[in-house]
Structure 1
Amino acid sequence: MVTASPMQITVLRGRDEERRAIRRLLAGPTDAGAALVLHGEPGSGRSALVGYAHRHARKFALLASTGLADEASLPYAGLQRLLDPVLDCAGELPAFDSRLLRRALAGSGCPPERQLALGLAVLRLLAVVARSRPLLCTMDDVDLGDRPTAEVLAFAARRLRRLPIAVVLTATSAPPGGLPSYRLGPLDESDGAALLADRLPEPPVGPVTEALVAAAGGNPQALVDLAGTLTAAQCRGDEPPPTTPPADGALGRAYRSRLDRLPDDTRGMLLLAALDEDGAPETLVRAARAGGDSIADLTPAERAGLVRVEAHRITFPHPVARSAVVTAAPIAERRAAHVRLAGVLDDPAQRLARALHLAAAAAGPDPALAGELEAAAVTVGGARASVALERAAELGDDPARVAERRVDAARYAWAAGETRRAQLLLSRVPTGPVAPSGTGPAGPGRGGAVPGPAAPPAGGRADLLRGEVELRCGRTPAALRALLAAADVLAGTDRPAALSALARAGEALCFSGAQYRYADLARRARVLARRARVLTRPGDPPEVELTGTYLAGVSATLRGDLEQAGPALRRVVVLTGQLTGAALTPALLCWAASAGLLVAVDGAAHRLAERAVELARERKELSALPRALELRAIAEYWLGRHAAAADSSREGLRIARATGQANVAAVHLGMLAVLAAVRADRDVCLRRLSEIGDGPAPYSRPWALAQWAVAVLDLTDGRHAAAAARLAALARPGTGRGQVLVQVMATPHLVEAAQLSHRPVAVAALALFDRWASSTASPSRRALSARCHALLAPRGSDEAEERFRTALRLHPVDTGVFERARTALLFGRELRRARRPRDARTHLHDAWETFTLLAAGAWADQATAELRAAGESVGAPDPAAARLLTGQQLRIAQLVAEGATNREVAARMFLSTRTVDHHLRNIFHRLGVRSRTELARALP
C-alpha cells in the first residue's frame, strides 16, 4: 500500500480566494475590525483554513475554540470555552456587564430580554483583551455547538468596525446573516491532482488521478482518505483505483459522529431519504405518513449538514454521507424502510424503484420478484438496469437464467461506462456452456430477436462482451480469443451476434497490427456461412447485411483486392440509411464510418461518426463514445479540419479515461500527437507522447501513431533519414504485418522524408497509396498522390512541375486547405531550387497567407524563409545585423546560429555543401564576425 505522507501539509489546494480573504482580514488597519464566515460540507477544508488564519496571525493575540455537538444542549457552553482564558479581564467591565457575563457562562443562562446586553458585554470583553494587541477570535464548526453561542458571536462579529478584532467562524449549514461568507465548493481536477501529489510519495498516473478526483466528488478530505488506501499498483494504473472513499476514513467518521447524535425519529427519516435514491420529496412525505412520522423530523439532520431538503429534491452533501446513514442502520430497520418505500411507489413509472426496494427487503431466492426486476429493468436501461438485473440474478434459482441476467447486467454496466463493475459481473458468469432456460428480455446490443424457443447461450454472449471490454481496455490477444470463441458459440443461435463478434475480432487484429491474420478471420466467417447456409442472404435485416458486407470489404481491402473492397464498403455506407429504431446502434454506425474512410468518402464518414456520437449520447452508452469520436477525428483530419479533429480526440480521451478504456485513450493520445506534429507544435506533441509512454506494443495502433508523430517532428527539424526510416517501419505491406492503414495515412510524409534523404524506402508505400487513391473518387487523395510523385520526379524537371500543378488543381478549395498550402510551399521551394524565384513567389505567397490564416506559425515561418530565399522580404523589417544579409544568407545564418552543421544546412535548404560554405564566408565578412558563436550573438 502507498502510505500517505505523515508530515503536515500546510499548502491548501483550491482555496486561493478564501486564503486571500483571510490575509486581507489580518492585514487590515489595526483599529478596524472585521469578520468572515467559511461554510461548506464536512471535509471541505474549513478547519484547515482556520489553521491557516492561526499561522498568519503572528501579530495577534488568539482566542480559538470549536463547536461541540456533545454540548449543543448546554447554553453558552461554547462561549465559555472560548472566553475562559480571558475571563479575568471581565473585572474591567462595568459591574452589570461583568455579572451578566459571568452568570451566563456559569450555566445560569440569560433571560431573553437581556440577550442584547449579553452580546454587548461579550463585545466589550473582547475590546478589553484587544487593547494591548490586535485579537483574532475563531470558532470552528460554530453551528455544531449550542445555538446561543453562535448567536452571540454573530452579534459581536457584526459590530467590530472600530475595534482591532478579527473574527473567523466556520459552519456546515447556512452562515449567519450580515457577515461576509465564502462557500467552499469542490476542488477541480488540477487542484485535486496537486493535493494527491502532496500526500503521496509518487503522484498517480493521469487516468488514476482523474478517477480519484471523480470518486471524491472534489472533497479534499475524501481525496486524502482515498490516498490513504491507494496501493502501489493502483497508483501506477496497473489495477483499478478505488471508486468510493473508505467508509472508515476521516470523512466517514465525521458523518457518523453527526449521525450518532441525532434523535431516533430523525435517524429513521434520514434512512428513508438515503434509501430513496430518486430523492423526490413527495415520496418521502408519503412514506413518512405511512409510518406515522413527519418529514419535519429531518430538521436536525439538515442542521447537522447530513442532508439538504429542497423544493423538488432531497440530496446528500456527499455519497459518503448517504453510505454512513445506510450502514449505521441495523438490517431489520433497512428492510422495513425498503418495504415502506415500496408501499408508496404505486405509479407505473416507479415500477423499477418499487421492485428494487422489494428486492432489497427479500431474505432469500424469489423467482417471481426476479422476473419483475428483469421486466422493469429493460424499460429504463442504463446503470439502474444493471443494478436491477444483478439483484434479479441473486434472487433467481435457475442457473441458466442467473447467468443470462448477469451478462445483461454486465452489458448495461459497460454501456453506462462502469467498466470495472462490468468486468466483475462477467467474472461470475461460467465460462462453460449453460443450458438456456428460455427466452428473456434482451440486453443492450444483444442483436434483436432470435428465432425459435432457445435464447443465445449466456456463455457466448459473455465472451462477446468480454472480448469487447478487453479490446477497449485490456489485452488484445485475450480480446481476440474471447471474440472468436463467442463467434463459434453464437453461430447456431444468434447470427447477428456472431457476425458482431467477428467484426470486433477484426478490430482487434487491426489494433494490434496483425492484419495478416484476417485470412484466419475470413476462414471462420466461411465456417459461419456454412452453418447459416450463407453469410448474408436475401431478406436478411439490414444490420446483418451491413456487418457481413463490412467484414467482406475490410478483408478485401487488407489483402489488396480494392476492386472487390470498394463496392462492398460503399454498400455498407448505403445500408445505414435503411436502419431504424433499435436496429441502428453506435457500433453499426462506427463500422459504416470506418468503411467510408476506407473508400475515402470523408464527408459521409464524418456524418456517420457524428451520428454514432449523437446516438451514444442519446442512449447514454458512454462506452461507445470514445471509438465514435476516434473515427470522427480521423474523418476531420482527412477533411483538413485539424482543430476540430483535436477537439474530437480530446473529448474522446477524456471519456476513454473516465470509462477505463486505456487502449482507446492511447489511440486518442497518438492522434493528438500527430495533429500537433503536423502543425509543428513540438511542445504539445511531446507532451502527448509522454502521456502514451512506452506501454503500447510494437505495431499496435497507438505505437504507430506515436511513431508517425515523432517522424513528422524529425521531418520538420531536418532529420529526413530518421523520419523516412521510422515511417517505412510502420508496416510491411507485402506481409500484412504492422499498421498498414496508418502508413497509408502517413505516406505523404514518408515520401517527403525519403526524397529529402535520397532513400528509396517510399516506393512500396507510394504504390499502395496510388492504388488506393485511384480506386476512390476522392480528389484530395489524388492530389496527395500527385504531390508525392512530384517530389520523387527529377529536380527541376517538367514532370515535377506538371505533377505539382495537377496536385494544386485537384486539392478541393473548400476542404483540406492546410494540405493545399503544403503543396504550394513544396512547389514554391521546387521552383526556387530551379532558379525560378519569380514563379516561386506566387505559390509561396499563397502558402504563407493560408498558414497565417490557420495560425500555423511554424509553417508560416517556413514560407517566410522560402520567400526571403527567393528574394522577397515578408513581415517586419529585420534588425540592423540581419539587414546586411540577403534572404538566403539570413536563413543560412539562422540555421547555423541554431547549431546546424554546414551539411545539415545544405540538406534543409536544398543546396550543396560547397554553396553553404561560400555563403557562410560572405556572412562572416558582412557581419564582421569570426566564429559561429559570434554569429549567434550578432543575430537578433
Structure 2
Amino acid sequence: MVTASTVQLTGLRGRDAECAAIRRLLDGPPDAGGALLLWGEPGAGRSALVGYAHRQAGARTVLAGAGLAEEALLPYAGLQRLLDPLLDRADALPEPQRGVLRAALAGAGCPAHRRLALSMAVLGLLTAAARERPLLCTMDDVDQGDPQTAEVLGFVARRLRELPVAVLLTAGTDAVAGGVPRHRLRPLDDRAGAALLADRLPRLDPAVAVALTAVAGGNPQALVDLAEVLTPGQCRGDEPLPETPPVDGALGRGYRARLGRLPADTRRVLLLAALDPDGDPATLARAARAAGTAVEALAPAEAAGLVRVDARRVTLPQPLARAVVAQSVPLAARRAAHLLLAGVLDGTDQRLRRALHRATAAEPPAPALAAELEAAAGDAAPAAAAAALARAAELSATPRQAAARLVGAARHAWTAGRPQWARRLLADSRVRGPADPTTAARAGLLRGELELRCGAPSAASATLLAAAAAVSGVDRLAALGALVRAGEAVCFTGDQYRYAEVARRAAALRRPGDPPAAELMTALAAGVAATLRGDHERGGPALRRVVVLGNRLTGPALTPAALTCAAVAGLLVAVDGAAHRLAERAVEVARARGELSLLSRALELRAIAEYWLGRHDAAADTSREGLRVARETGQVTCAGVHLGMLAVLAAVRADRDTSLRRIREIGEAAAPYSRPRALAQWALAVLDLVDNRHDAAAARLTALARPGIGRGQVLIQVMATPYLVEAAAGTAHRPAATAALAVFDRWASSTASPSRRALSARCHALLAPRGSAGAEDGFRTALRLHPADAGAFERARTELLLGRELRRNRRPRDAREHLHTARETFGLLGLTAWAEQATTELRAAGESVGTPDQPAARLLTGQQLRIAQLVAEGATNREIAARMFLSTRTVDHHLRNIFHRLGIRSRTELARALT
C-alpha cells in the first residue's frame, strides 16, 4: 500500500494552508469539536500531515488508525484498531449500544437496522473519553480500509459541534465522509518543490529543481524518489533528467501494490488506458469490448486512485502510474494491446495514433512503417510528432535516416516546450553515428536555441552563428532564423557590439524577391543593428517595414517566431499598440498550435508593450503567466526576464516586499550585463527613488550600459532613462543622465510616439535650471503630449514633478492644482507611496490634507490586512503573533509596512482607516 507516510516532508514544504487548517481544527474552543478530510493523490503528503496533527495535539488524547487494503473485506476492522484503547470504557454505554458495538468489533458484523445504534455507540464512546481530556481521532487512508469503518467515522464527524473531539481523515478521493469539511492536497508549486529538493540536494541547480518539479507533477513523494536517483551530472544540469520518477521508488512500489489488488478485467482495461495517451473514452470503450470486457471494469482502478474518468478523457494521475501499469505485463501482452488499439482506430483523422500503436508493436527495422510515421507526423501537434519521429528513428533502416528523424523529433519536442526530451533525442542522434551535414547543421541550430532559452545564452550566439553558416546553402529561412536567435542572444547577454556581425551575415543572405518571412528577418537584423548604433534614420524604416510584414503574414508564414520578430520591431519604433497586437497574436498562435517553446517569449514582449501603454496591472499579469510558462518549459533565461519585469512593476507600485522577492528569485546566476540583472537594478533604483535615495538610484541606472563600447543593456537603460534623469538631476551623476537623455532623444524623435516625446520633455524640464521658464515649459509640454487615453501613471508623475517645481519656485497656489490631480490619480491607481509624495508636496504648499482616500483593503496584502484588523480590535503584537503563528518580530515588520502603505503613524489611526 502507498500512503504519504513515506513522504518525509522537511517543514511540510508547500503545505502551509493545510497546516493552518489543522491548527484551526485543534485550536477551537475547548468545548467544541470539528472534523476535516484531507484528500489527494498517492504521495501528496497526507500521512505527513496526520503526523503534523499528532505533534500539534497538545493536551489532547490521540487515537490513530489507518485504513489497510488487506482488511478492506473485514467489516469494522479499521474501527476495531482505532477504538481498541477505549474498549474498557464501553461498559458505560447503554446496553443496546454496548452490545451492538462489541458484536461489530468482534467480527459478528452489524445488521442494517442496527447501524444507527452502532454509530451512536461509537460517538458515545468518544464522548466519554473526551470528558477527561479533549480528543484527537485520526484515520489515515480511510478509503483504503473497510467501507463500514468509513461510514461510521463519517457519521461521527458530522456530529461534533458541541463535543471536545476533533476528527482528521485522509483519503485519495473526496467521495467518502460526505458532509465533512474537506481540503484537497494540490501539487506543490515550483518554489515549494525546489525547497523540498534542496532539503535533500543542497547544491541542486535551480533550473533542474524547476524541471524536476514538472517531471514529478508537483507530487512530494515523486520529488523525493527523483532526488534519490539523480546523478551528479543531472544535479548540475549537465545531463538529461529522467522523464518520470523511478518506477522502483516508494511511489512506484505503492502504485504496483494497488495494481496487484485489482481484478484481472480491470487490469486489462487499465493497460489499454495506459497505452493510449490520448485518453479518448470512445476509443477505450471499443478496445475494451474487443478485449472481451467493458470499460466499466475500470471502476476499481478509479477507486484505487490509478485512473480518472470523465466524459471527455481517461487519464492516469502521474506519468509514473502509466509506466507502472505498462511494465506490469510481459512485452508480448503490451504488443498485443497496442495492436488491439490500432485495430479500433479506423478513422482517417486517427492515422498517426494508429501508426504509433502499430509501430510500438513492431520489430525493427521496419522502413515502410517508419516512413508512414514520418508522413503522419507532418500534420500532428508538436508533442505527438516528436513521439512519432522518435519511434520512426528506431524503425529506420540506416543510421543516417535514424539520425535525421531523431533531430526532427528533437525539434518537435522543443517546440512542445520539453527541452529535456529534446536534449535526450539530440544525444541519441549522435549515438546513431555520423549524420549528413544538413542534419548536423539542423542539430546545431536546435542546440543553440536550447542554450539561448534554457541556460547558456553566452554560448548560444557562437553555436547559432556556426549552425547558420552550415545550413545557409540548403535552407536560407532556417539560417536567417538562427541569425535572429543569435542576435537575441547577444542582446540578452549585453554584448550588443556583436550584433553588427549578425546583421552582416543576414544581409549576405538577402535575395531580390524574398518571401515575406525572409524579408522580415533580414529587415529586422538590419533595423536592430542600426538602432543599437543610434542610426535611427536607417533603423526606423527597416523596423517599420518589419511591422508591416508582420501584419500581413498568412498561411505557413504565420508563425509565433515571425510574429515575435514583428513585435520586437514594433517596440523599437514605439508603435506600442501594433507591438501589443502582434505579441498577442503570437501568444494565440503558439497556444493554438501547441508551440510552447515561444510562448514565454511572446508573453515577454506583450508585457513590455503593456508597460509602454501604461497598463501596469496587465503587464504584471502577463509577466506572471510568462514566468509560469517559462518554468514549466525549463526556460530559465525567459524566467529571469519575467522576474525582472515583475520586480520593476512592483517597484513602480512601491511594493518593496514583492520587488525584492522577485529579485531574490533571479538569484546570483544572472551575469552582470544580462537582461535579468539590468531589470533587477532598474527595480532597485525605482525603490531608491521612492525612498528619496537619488544618488543610489542614479548610480544603479548609470551602470546599466556603456553605449560607447556597446556593452550592457542599452535598451533597458533607454526604458529607464526617465527614472535616471529624475534621480540624477541634483547629483554628481547629472552628466551621465544628460548623455543617456541624448540617446533617448535621438530614439524618441525618430518615432511618432507622443508618450516618448512627453517623457523626453519631462526629462529636459528636470535638467533645466530650477525655477527657470525652460523647466516649466518642459513640464507643460509633457502634459500636453501625454496621451489622454493611456499612461495615467506617467501623466500623474509629470503633474507631481510640475507641482513640486512650482511649489519650490514659490508659487504654491499654481502648484496645488497639479498636486491635487497627481494625488487623485495615484489614489485611483492604488499607488500609495506616490500619493504620499503628492500629499507631502501639498502640505509643503500650505494645504492641510489627510492621507490618500483609498480603502485599506485595496492597499494591503491579505496577511497585512488580517494583522491590521486584529490591531483595530485591540490585540497586542504578542497576541497577534500567537494567533497567526508568527514571530513578534515578523508582526512588527508587517505593522511598519502597514503604517507606511496607509500613510498613518499610530494604531488609533489604523483603526480609523479600517472603518
Q: Considering the TM-score relative to the shorter chain, is it more than 0.5? A: yes
Q: CA deviation at 1:56?
A: 6.9
181-190 or 514-523: bigger deviation: 181-190
Q: CA deviation at 1:356?
A: 1.6
Q: CA deviation at 1:501?
A: 1.3
Partner residue in 1 for 2:22: 19
Taking the TM superposition and a 5 Å limit, the aligned residue runs for 1:102-501 are 116=113, 120=117, 140-145=140-145, 171-172=171-172, 175=175, 180=180, 182=182, 184-187=184-187, 189=189, 192=192, 196=196, 200=200, 211=211, 213-226=213-226, 244-430=244-430, 457-501=438-482
For the residues of structure 1 that align with 2:657 and 2:666, how far apart are their CA atoms? Answer: 15
For the residues of structure 1 that align with 2:93 and 2:766, how far apart are their CA atoms? Answer: 96
Partner residue in 2 for 1:881: none
Query: Are residue 614 (structure 1) and residue 617 (structure 2) matched?
Result: no
Partner residue in 2 for 1:861: 836
Tell me the amino acid that sits aligned with residue 498 of structure 2.
Answer: R
Q: CA deviation at 1:580?
A: 0.2
For the residues of structure 2 that align with 1:80 and 1:845, how far apart are their CA atoms? Answer: 73
Listed one character per residue, the Cα deviations across residues 651-710 of structure 1 (whole Å, up to 9, x for unaligned) are 222221221211122122222222333344333332222222222222222222222223
Partner residue in 1 for 2:867: none
Query: Are residue 871 (structure 1) and residue 846 (structure 2) matched?
Result: yes
Q: Is the 8 A contact 2:126 2:165 kept in 1?
A: no
Q: CA deviation at 1:358?
A: 1.6
187-196 or 312-321: bigger deviation: 187-196
For the residues of structure 2 that align with 1:869 and 1:329, how far apart are their CA atoms? Answer: 82
141-150 or 804-813: bigger deviation: 141-150
For the residues of structure 2 that align with 1:84 and 1:832, how far apart are their CA atoms? Answer: 81
Query: Are residue 549 (structure 1) and residue 523 (structure 2) matched?
Result: yes
Tell me the amino acid that sits aligned with residue 330 of structure 2.
Answer: P
For the residues of structure 2 that align with 1:155 and 1:720, how far apart are their CA atoms? Answer: 66
Q: Is the 8 A contact 2:382 2:416 kept in 1?
A: yes
CA pair 365-95 structure 1, distance change in 2 beyond 3 A: same
Higher Cα radius of gyration: 1
CA pair 238-874 structure 1, distance change in 2 beyond 3 A: farther
Q: Is the 8 A contact 1:186 1:217 kept in 2?
A: no
Tell me the amino acid that sits aligned with residue 382 of structure 2.
Answer: G
Match of 2:557 among 574, 580, 583: 583
CA pair 188-837 structure 1, distance change in 2 beyond 3 A: same
CA pair 853-234 structure 1, distance change in 2 beyond 3 A: farther
Q: Is the 8 A contact 1:714 1:723 kept in 2?
A: yes
Q: Is the 8 A contact 1:630 1:648 kept in 2?
A: yes
Query: Are residue 711 (structure 1) and residue 685 (structure 2) matched?
Result: yes
Unpaired runs of 5+ residues, structure 2, are 1-5, 853-904, 910-915
Tell me the amino acid that sits aligned with residue 333 of structure 2.
Answer: E
Say which SS state the counterpart of residue 756 (structure 1) adopts. Answer: coil
For the residues of structure 2 that align with 1:382 and 1:585, how far apart are their CA atoms? Answer: 14
Query: Are residue 736 (structure 1) and residue 710 (structure 2) matched?
Result: yes
Tell me the amino acid that sits aligned with residue 658 of structure 2.
Answer: V
For the residues of structure 2 that align with 1:182 and 1:402, how far apart are their CA atoms? Answer: 52
Q: Is the 8 A contact 2:100 2:117 kept in 1?
A: no
Partner residue in 1 for 2:505: 524
143-152 or 159-168: bigger deviation: 159-168
For the residues of structure 1 that align with 2:127 and 2:791, how far apart are their CA atoms? Answer: 73
Q: Is the 8 A contact 1:5 1:200 kept in 2?
A: no
| TM score, norm. by length of structure 2 | 0.81
Q: CA deviation at 1:554?
A: 1.4
Across the aligned residues of Structure 1 and Structure 2, the Cα RMSD in angstroms comes to 4.2
Q: Is the 8 A contact 1:773 1:782 kept in 2?
A: yes
Q: Is the 8 A contact 1:196 1:227 kept in 2?
A: no
Q: Is the 8 A contact 2:25 2:166 kept in 1?
A: no
Q: CA deviation at 1:385?
A: 1.8
Query: Are residue 650 (structure 1) and residue 653 (structure 2) matched?
Result: no
Say which SS state the counterpart of residue 390 (structure 1) adopts. Answer: helix
Match of 2:658 among 684, 700, 703: 684
Query: Are residue 506 (structure 1) and residue 487 (structure 2) matched?
Result: yes
Q: CA deviation at 1:607?
A: 1.7
Partner residue in 1 for 2:701: 727
Q: CA deviation at 1:842?
A: 3.3
For the residues of structure 1 that align with 2:787 and 2:236, how far apart are their CA atoms? Answer: 47
CA pair 654-176 structure 1, distance change in 2 beyond 3 A: closer
Q: CA deviation at 1:39?
A: 5.3
Q: Is the 8 A contact 1:67 1:144 kept in 2?
A: yes
For the residues of structure 2 that align with 1:433 and 1:302, how far apart are their CA atoms? Answer: 45
Partner residue in 2 for 1:926: none
Match of 2:763 among 771, 783, 788: 788
CA pair 696-541 structure 1, distance change in 2 beyond 3 A: same
For the residues of structure 2 that align with 1:138 and 1:719, how far apart are their CA atoms? Answer: 56
Say which SS state the counterpart of residue 555 (structure 1) adopts. Answer: helix
Q: Is the 8 A contact 1:37 1:175 kept in 2?
A: no
| TM score, norm. by length of structure 1 | 0.79
Query: Are residue 800 (structure 1) and residue 767 (structure 2) matched?
Result: no
How many residues are aligned here?
847
For the residues of structure 2 that align with 1:127 and 1:845, how far apart are their CA atoms? Answer: 68
Q: Is the 8 A contact 1:175 1:181 kept in 2?
A: no
Q: CA deviation at 1:757?
A: 0.8
For the residues of structure 1 that align with 2:511 and 2:246, how far apart are their CA atoms? Answer: 53
Q: CA deviation at 1:228?
A: 5.1
Tell me the amino acid that sits aligned with residue 19 of structure 1.
Answer: I
Q: Is the 8 A contact 2:370 2:396 kept in 1?
A: yes
Q: CA deviation at 1:590?
A: 1.4
Tell me the amino acid that sits aligned with residue 801 of structure 2.
Answer: L
For the residues of structure 2 that align with 1:192 and 1:663, how far apart are their CA atoms? Answer: 21
CA pair 312-657 structure 1, distance change in 2 beyond 3 A: closer
CA pair 27-597 structure 1, distance change in 2 beyond 3 A: same
CA pair 59-722 structure 1, distance change in 2 beyond 3 A: closer
Tell me the amino acid that sits aligned with residue 387 of structure 1.
Answer: A
For the residues of structure 1 that align with 2:628 and 2:31, how far apart are their CA atoms? Answer: 44
Q: CA deviation at 1:855?
A: 2.5
Q: CA deviation at 1:494?
A: 1.0
CA pair 231-685 structure 1, distance change in 2 beyond 3 A: farther
Query: Are residue 756 (structure 1) and residue 730 (structure 2) matched?
Result: yes
Query: Are residue 624 (structure 1) and residue 627 (structure 2) matched?
Result: no
For the residues of structure 2 that align with 1:648 and 1:125, how far apart are their CA atoms? Answer: 54
Q: CA deviation at 1:227?
A: 5.5
Query: Are residue 637 (structure 1) and residue 618 (structure 2) matched?
Result: no
For the residues of structure 2 that align with 1:577 and 1:715, how far apart are their CA atoms? Answer: 39
For the residues of structure 2 that align with 1:48 and 1:330, how far apart are their CA atoms? Answer: 35
Partner residue in 2 for 1:674: 648
CA pair 335-54 structure 1, distance change in 2 beyond 3 A: same
Q: Is the 8 A contact 1:569 1:596 kept in 2?
A: yes
Q: Is the 8 A contact 2:560 2:602 kept in 1?
A: yes
Query: Are residue 765 (structure 1) and residue 768 (structure 2) matched?
Result: no
